[in-house]
Amino acid sequence: MIEQKDIDKLLAGRKIVDDYRAVAEIYREKVAVSNTKTATEIAAAKEQYGKREDATRKMHEELYKLGFGEGADPSAYDAFNKVNKQMILEEYTEVTTISFLGCDKCPTRKCVELYGAGACGNQDVKDIKSVERDMRLFFLKLIKKSKDGLSKNFADVKVCPDGYGFQWKRNRNERFNLGWE
């Protein structure tokens, strides 16, 4: 179970990264103005480049102060990113129950139609835990592709008919955005 203090730390880290991304986006807009840049545009791009570099250093420092990484350097962002992914998977695991009911006599075999040889219906499912983990990651990818991850959620589109294959149910709402990257 993820503790609230860990969620608070994660959300603080996300805010730091979002603040950096806002500065980086302005920089990208400045340098993408045109191929023929005036002296003013070049100066503005250089100034924004400096702001982006400052924002990068600030992001690393702030993430490190939160306890991510081994220093105020790229390892802080890498560590934060790793924790973010782990917490998303852990939260999704708590939010949903996935059960495998088997594919024998499945009336639709829709998974084979959609995914061919990679379909779960074509696999020898002996290690169900690893397959469940893969299915959670698959559903998370669908959530990230969804508009808002809740009311319009691709992961809610069932491939397996009731009583066959993988079935899942939502136990509760997530406590933080699972689609944040």
Question: Does the residue 91 lie in any domain?
Answer: no
Specify whether the backbone of 78 is left (phi greater than 0), alpha (psi in -120 to 50) or beta: alpha
State whether residue 19 is helix, strand or coil. Answer: helix
Single out the residue in 55, 86, 117 at which a domain terminates: 86
| Contact by Cβ (8 Å): 165, 101 | yes
Q: What is the pLDDT of residue 101?
A: 85
pLDDT at 36 over 70: no
- Asked whether residue 57 is domain-assigned, the answer is yes
Q: Name the residue range of residue 23's domain.
A: 4-86
The two structure tokens encoding residue 75: 């390892």
pLDDT tens, position by position, 43-54:
777 888 888 899
Phi (first) and psi of residue 98, to 5 degrees: -115, 130
d(CA 153, CA 168): 14
Our count of domains for the chain comes to 2
Give the single-character DSSP code of 155: G
pLDDT value, residue 3: 96
Tell whether 72 is covered by a domain: yes
pLDDT tens string 76-130: 999 999 999 999 999 988 988 888 888 888 898 888 887 777 776 666 666 677 7
Largest CA distance in the chain: 71
